[in-house]
Amino acid sequence: MKRVVLLIAANLLITLLLLEIGLRLFPRLIPHQLLFYFEPVLRGQLAEGRFPTINDTVALDRDDGGFPLRIWKPFARVRHNYKDPGTVEIVTMDQFGFCNPPESANARAPIDIISIGDSLTWCTTVDPKDTWTAKLSDLSHLSTYNLGMGGVGLYEYLQIYKRYGRPRAPKLVIMNVAETNDLRDAVRYQDYRKHLGEKDSTQPQRSISLGAIYRDSYVVNLLWSTATYLKMSRADEPNFRYQLVFPEGAVPFNLQNHDTDEVENARKLVGGELYMDVLGEAIEEFARLAKQDSFTPVLSYTPSAYTAYASQVAFEDATLKTVLPRFSQEQRAYYKAKSQELGITFVDLTPALQAVAPKYNTPERLLYFQSDLHLTQFGHQVVAEKLRDVVSTLVR
């Protein structure tokens, strides 16, 4: 019996050793879904050249007590892994770390229009020249500069403006809010301040420490990450997949079931567990900065794909048919009322996108990408056209 146990142990050890060698020789075999849960330093080494890492960013000091904020380094090359028709795999930042064409007026001050926002403002899988900010310059013949940054919310937009927008003395600032996750990011900000930064909720929490083995072993990290991934892939995770149904046929959206926290937040907001006033301080600060820095404030609202295609959408989970429209309606109503209260021009982009949505149903002419759920080049164009009509009356 002892001999059998030793034989099994020896075979297991040899297998793990061979696997360790194989992973070190071919690290790209490690699925990117698991790489997120690797030990941070090792994860950074494995992600280098494959995904953006912390080494591609620089810290931005905050004055509001929020969580650590980082922006892209100058000329950083950011790689995307989505394969939807029309997506751009690699986008290059400008000399300040933001998403602007090389020929933009980003070095000049004063500038006519600055945009702040998240990944729906940033160049997510589109070339910097195809963002709505750049297109707005083409349409209005005004100078624009894009300060969008993915993965952050309203409170972070304002921090970025103070550091990089204020020196450019803009005449007008467009703060683009997203239906998708700005509410989530405001909750994260408020929770961080409430708990004084005791933990970063964006990182997986590990209950055990494996010391040097965990820090250095590919196999140990792979096993740990697989177990963590399976644990976090809950059976009760919302089904956020849907189709856009056109006379010519159905177009599937979100087949990878991304952004399920949007569904969770929608249910909380509709159910009275979450309130829009977590965003109030940020919008009030935006109005205060507008007076202090003498710019015209505009708050634009970009809906999710399912809202833009409201008349075509068919959710796999039928309960979302009522929950998500209410989620959209309550957000738009709040932003409109708060903007009116503070003297901010509010632009709801929903009607403009909905007016165009039924007319174009090929992958090349959709308003949003099917997998990454962000605006396509065409979607950015529609947004820019609507905002051109607004800013032309506000900037002289």
CA–CA dist 238, 262 (Å, integer):
9
- Beta strand ranges found along 131-230 (DSSP E): 144-146, 172-178
Q: 232-235: long-range contacts at Cβ-Cβ below 8 A with a sequence spacing of 24 or more?
A: 232/204
Residue 257 has a pLDDT of 93
Distance of CA 302 to CAs 117, 217, 351, 375, Å? 10, 44, 10, 9
- Please state the length of the chain: 396
pLDDT of 174-211, one tens digit each?
Answer: 999 999 999 999 999 999 998 865 554 444 444 444 55
CB 46 within 8 A of CB 38: yes
292-to-110, 276, 297, 339 alpha-carbon distances in Å: 16, 25, 11, 17
**CA–CA separation, 359 vs 268, rounded Å?**
34
Cα 218 to Cα 21, 229, 230, distances in angstroms: 9, 16, 18
All residue ranges of the chain with pLDDT < 70 are: 1-2, 4-6, 16, 18-20, 22-29, 31-53, 104-107, 196-215, 219, 222, 225-236, 363
332-362 tens-digit pLDDT: 999 999 999 999 999 999 999 999 998 877 7
pLDDT score of 359? 85
Q: Is the dihedral of CA 356, 361, 365, 366 positive or negative?
A: positive
Beta bridge partners of 172: 113, 296
What confidence score (pLDDT) does residue 46 get? 63
What global pTM score does this model have? 0.84
pLDDT, tens digit, for every residue of 365-375? 899 999 999 99
pLDDT above 70 covers a percentage of the chain that reads: 79
User: What are the distances in angstroms from CA 109 to CA 102, 143, 159?
Assistant: 16, 10, 19
Structural contact between residues 368 and 305, judged by C-beta atoms closer than 8 angstroms: yes
Check the CA dihedral 352-354-358-360 and report its sign.
Answer: positive
Contacts of 228 (CB under 8 A, 6+ apart): 37, 204
CA angle 223, 37, 49 (to 5 degrees): 110
Q: Tell me the pLDDT tens digit for each residue of 268-297.
A: 999 999 999 999 999 999 999 999 999 999
Sheet strand arrangement including 113-116 = 144-146, 113-116, 172-178, 296-302, 345-348
C-alpha distances in angstroms, 227 versus 184, 194, 204, 233, 261? Answer: 26, 31, 12, 10, 21
